[in-house]
Structure 1
Amino acid sequence: MVSQKDIDQICTDLYQSGWTVVENFLSAAFVDLMRQDLMALDRQEKFHKAGIGRELDFVRREDIRSDRICWLENINETQNLFMQMLDQLMTAVNRRLFLGMNHYEAMYAIYEPGQFYKKHVDSFKGQRNRIMTLVFYLNPDWTQDQGGELLLYPEVSEGGLENNEPIITLPPKAGTVAAFLSEDFPHEVLTTHDIRYSIAVWFRIREGEIPL
């Protein structure tokens, strides 16, 4: 489960700046469990090419995004433990920051050497469907020459101007979690030079529901 220290850091950082990075958020043992689950699903051919957009707007654009994904559906004990942790974290963040999040979706992602995800936002301003994005990393002993860093950019100004200088360049080291407000921060995944495993999670508000 999530430690009170990590909850405090996440809530404080989100309140002050809208984003945070917590190293060693997942224990080495739990990272191994999640990675083994991911790899088992890959052997079962449960992964598919990722795309961009949702429902009728969904398209596959490998010039923008080239990873493979598999949604977590709480099908085994490992995924159940992970989702218990997400429930705890979502409840704690809601209690502290009054964000009104009431469900989430989570997926595994595999980036093969040469793959990437160009700069994008997870939710457009005013839609308020994805509220908070979290990315968990499952790559032990990751080194700088393996690439695959997450670049997080400043919030786009009211005038629509983008700042192309990243706030942070984050290597995908095992146990680390990055979290940020989904509407506010453009981000990208640089080309990886080794196989790269991660979990993306979005805390959401169901369509038609307004947080009190």
Structure 2
Amino acid sequence: MNALSSAAVRNGGGLIDDPLFAQIAADLYDTGYSVIPKALPDTLTTLLSLSQQQLNKRDYSEAGIGRLADHQTVSTIRNDEVCWIDGNTGGGKAWLNWTEGLRHYLNCHLFMGLFSFESHFAHYAPGHFYKRHYDAFKGRSNRVLSVITYLNQDWQQEDGGELVLYQNDEDTKGISVLPETRTLVVFLSEKFPHEVLPAARHRFSVAGWYRVNDTLNGRVDPPR
């Protein structure tokens, strides 16, 4: 990250305005990831859930891998479906406002240079999955920080569908996160491989990624 001390991050240099943001920043400094159960504000969770419930089948598209010309759908790797968030619904607008606040906080305290944010609703039907992968390729300035939250009420251990976050390529055990409503997961995109295990019931989440400004020689990146 940078030369900030962990204590300075936790104290926020006198600029703390959100204890949740402060915890996320401290966790990222200490370990590169943050897993916080029951973290997302109730009102925001309710708005996101209402927006998700208003979606129908035609609003979703089959999820793929890769970006732009490299994008392709490979059902043996992932078979979830997604609906990109544009801020035109109450839940989407509230989520983008909240993540914008987090962006400013992390840039202020960790100097991460986060520039833009993209996000979608994700739906995993029973038995669907996303095999082990990275959200960004090492050495490329694309996705820098991943953010995930869940919209699943009364989720039980036997329902499955865990996110498994691995420390590195050699890690075979990982950290298992049950997709319970309001749980928040934030991690460095190119550092932690992860996967979504099959669930026994419909599983809903919101996933997003912060990117840096990698515009060079007139090529705009992130694309407008």
TM-based fold match above 0.5? yes
Instruction: Look up the match of 1:183.
Output: 190
Select 1:73's aligned residue among 77, 80, 86: 86
Aligned residues: 202
2:180 paired with 1:136: no
Question: Residue type of the partner of 1:208?
Answer: T
| Superposed displacement of residue 3, structure 1 | 6.6
Select 1:170's aligned residue among 153, 163, 177: 177
Conserved? CA contact 2:49–2:91, under 8 Å: no
| Superposed displacement of residue 146, structure 1 | 0.6
Instruction: Look up the match of 1:61.
Output: 74
| Superposed displacement of residue 155, structure 1 | 2.8
Question: Residue type of the partner of 1:84?
Answer: N
**RMSD, aligned α-carbons:** 1.7
Q: Distance in 2 between matches of 1:100 and 1:84?
A: 18
Secondary structure of the residue aligned to 2:91 is: helix
Identity over aligned pairs, percent? 36
Conserved? CA contact 1:151–1:189, under 8 Å: yes
What's the TM-score once normalised by structure 1's chain length?
0.90
User: 1:61-107 deviations in whole A, cap 9, x for unaligned?
Assistant: 11110100000001122211111111100100111111101110010
Select 1:105's aligned residue among 118, 121, 139: 118
Instruction: Look up the match of 2:201.
Output: 194
Conserved? CA contact 1:28–1:174, under 8 Å: no
2:42 paired with 1:22: no
| Superposed displacement of residue 23, structure 1 | 1.7
| Superposed displacement of residue 27, structure 1 | 3.1
In structure 2, the CA distance between the partners of 1:75 and 1:136, relative to structure 1 (3 Å rule), is same
Q: Distance in 2 between matches of 1:179 and 1:112?
A: 24
Q: Distance in 1 between matches of 2:64 and 2:119?
A: 15
Secondary structure of the residue aligned to 1:126 is: coil
Task: Select between 111-120 and 57-66 the one with higher mean Cα deviation.
Answer: 57-66
| Superposed displacement of residue 140, structure 1 | 1.0
Structure 1 alignment gaps of length 5 or more? 157-161
Question: Residue type of the partner of 2:50?
Answer: Q
Conserved? CA contact 1:152–1:186, under 8 Å: yes
Q: Distance in 2 between matches of 1:142 and 1:50?
A: 23
Greater relative contact order (CA < 8 Å, ≥ 6 in sequence):
1
2:203 paired with 1:203: no
Aligned pairs for 1:41-52 within 5 A: 41-42=55-56, 45-52=58-65
Select 2:45's aligned residue among 31, 34, 39: 31
Q: Distance in 2 between matches of 1:10 and 1:25?
A: 10
Conserved? CA contact 1:35–1:197, under 8 Å: no
